[in-house]
Amino acid sequence: MRMTVIGTGYLGATHAACMAELRHEVLGVDVDEAKIEALQNGRVPFYEPGLPEVLERNIASRRLRFTTNYEEAAQFANVHFIGVGTPQQRGSYAADTRYVEAVIDSLVPHLEGEHLILGKSTVPVGTAAALQERADKLAQPGTTVEIAWNPEFLREGYAVKDTIEPDRIVLGVQAGSNAEAIAREVYATPLANNTPFIVTDLQTAELVKVSANAFLATKISFINAVSEVCEIVGADVTQLADAIGHDDRIGRKFLGAGLGFGGGCLPKDIRAFMARAGEVGADQALTFLREVDAINMRRRQRVIDLSREVLGSLIGKRITVLGAAFKPNSDDVRDSPALAVAGQLSLAGAAVRVYDPQGMDNARKVFPTLDYAASLEDALTGAELVILATEWDEFKQMDPVHAAELVEKQVLIDGRNVLPVEQWQQAGWELHALGRSLG
């Protein structure tokens, strides 16, 4: 099948390359010329394990190309995916849908014949119906354009696997639509492997995505709220999470107490969901998400406070923050808890040094004033306090004996509860963590 993928960021570049890997002919479209040039030259402009190989292979096979030209996109295929950003609006909790609207405005006037547009971006409920009206106004006489919604659930760090072998496919369609038949062809390979395929109306599909993210955020903030109590009474939140996680109605996943969630999705998605619920008249329904957000933000503050408690004063203290990406296996620093902590400590007067295996370039753009180390060893050298803020394997596997030789003071805050405590204590480290007292 031929298809275009419009918006080639984390979601779109992955989707385009993986659709080509599934033997489709794909044209990736973006307004960012530098990004398109990089992709066309086989270079992924962000870190995503496994994606460079898929990209190169499919460019070489000529199944995958990239362009900035919407006219070319309109002529190339009758199926178009939208994967552009839907960030938080400035000064509001709501999502900014101007980029998805811009795609309709740029694409639809060039279309001829019958076209299906499958939205993958995460949007407020009601967006797909509004885009359909917009498309109807812009379509040339005799041309039909149908909008369907096909939300994306990929996880950065596992994006290739999640796209090629999704755990479910959700499709929102309008009455009398033939989008399902086309989507079945697009996803023939995963569907042949019994991937659950759920066909709904447009508004349900839109809500599925934001509900999934709201649930995950709530689960993380739940354990972090419990962790606040644990800290005061001297209980251990990691043991508690293990114990409740054995109940398969609860499950252990997403019960890792620590610095909380961040990234380009969860924070803005729960805020947009709250805002939209208010707009549609369900004022009370999602107010609890404000608390979920607040609990999450308090964990960042807790690490700052703990640093101050441990060091006495922050002024001039050499603090090393390990991690800049919002989670391991990604270079994405959007709303990163690690970087927020590093930035706050620096503003409070500490001399902060940051190291991340992949997120350094992006971090430098957001916080150019921080000191960035060239390696883990370089980062640890001379530190008076080390904060593990993103749980990269490189940090989890650090040798506490070797690390002790590099630092000025053997004091560490494990912001993710991932280090083997005894091993570190035996090597002479004073260890602090969120949600447990390590004595």
Please state, in angstroms and rounded to a whole number, the distance separating the CA atoms of residues 397 and 415.
Answer: 15
* CB closer to ligand NAD out of 265 and 373: 265
Q: Which residue has the tokens 């949600």?
A: 435
CB of 152 to ligand NAD, least distance (A): 4
237 binds ligand NAD (CB under 6 A): no
Binding mask 109-148 for ligand NAD (x = CB under 6 A): ------------xx--------------------------
Radius of gyration of the chain (CA): 23
* Closest CB 200 distance from ligand NAD, rounded Å: 17
Q: Choose which of 4, 86, 127, 296 interacts with ligand NAD (CB under 6 A).
A: 86
Which tokens belong to 268? Answer: 């803005």
The CB-of-430 to ligand NAD minimum distance in angstroms stands at 37
Chain centre to alpha carbon of residue 264: 5
The verdict on 265 binding ligand NAD (CB under 6 A) reads yes
Nearest residue to 438 via CA among 426, 415, 422, 418? 422
Query: What is the distance between the alpha carbons of residues 109 and 75, in angstroms, rounded to a whole number?
Result: 12
Q: Could you tell me how many residues of this chain bind ligand NAD (CB under 6 A)?
A: 27
CB of 125 to ligand NAD, least distance (A): 14
What tokens appear for 228 in the block?
């606040």
In whole angstroms, how close is the CB of 313 to ligand NAD at the nearest point?
A: 39
3-state secondary structure (DSSP) of residue 261: coil
DSSP summary character for residue 436: B
Is 334 strand, coil or helix?
A: coil
φ/ψ (deg, to 5) at 83 = -130, 30
Segment contacting ligand NAD by CB under 6 A, of 96-104, 254-262, 282-290, 354-362: 96-104
Strands 64-67 and 25-29: parallel
Q: Can you tell me the distance from the alpha carbon of 335 to that of 367, in angstroms, rounded to the nearest whole number?
A: 12
Indicate if the alpha-carbon torsion angle 30, 32, 37, 42 is positive or negative: negative
Q: Is 157 in the site for ligand NAD (CB under 6 A)?
A: no
Task: List all residues 6 or more positions away from 405 whose beta carbon is below 8 Å from its beta carbon.
Answer: none
- List the one residue from 18, 44, 79, 85 that touches ligand NAD (CB under 6 A): 85
Answer yes or no whether residue 362 interacts with ligand NAD by CB under 6 A. no
CB of 87 to ligand NAD, least distance (A): 8
The CA distance from 406 to 214, in Å, is 41
376 touches ligand NAD by CB under 6 A: no
- Phi/psi of residue 389, nearest 5 degrees: -115, -20
User: 25-64: which residues touch ligand NAD (CB under 6 A)?
Assistant: 29-32, 35
| Choice between 84 and 434, CB closer to ligand NAD | 84
Q: Which is nearer to ligand NAD, 99 or 197 (CB)?
A: 99
Candidate list 265, 310, 339, 360, residue with the active-site label: 265
Smallest gap from residue 150 Cβ to ligand NAD (A): 11
Helix (H) or strand (E) holding 118: strand 114-119
Segment lying near ligand NAD (by CB under 6 A), choices 51-59, 80-88, 242-250, 352-360: 80-88
CB of 15 to ligand NAD, least distance (A): 9
- Can residue 152 be called a binding residue for ligand NAD (CB under 6 A)? yes
Question: Residues 9, 256, 262, 359: which binds ligand NAD (CB under 6 A)?
Answer: 9
Does 11 interact with ligand NAD (rule: CB under 6 A)? yes
What are the residues whose beta carbons fall under 8 Å from the beta carbon of 421, sequence distance 6 or more? 414, 431, 433, 438
Q: Please, which residue, 163 or 224, has the CB nearer to ligand NAD?
A: 163
Q: How many residues does the chain have?
A: 439
18 noted as active-site residue: no
> How many angstroms separate the CA atoms of 439 and 432, rounded?
8
Establish if 333 lies at the interface with ligand NAD (CB under 6 A): no
Q: Which residues bind ligand NAD (CB under 6 A)?
A: 6-12, 29-32, 35, 83-86, 99, 102-103, 106, 121-122, 152, 154, 156, 264-265
Q: Which residues are catalytic?
A: 265
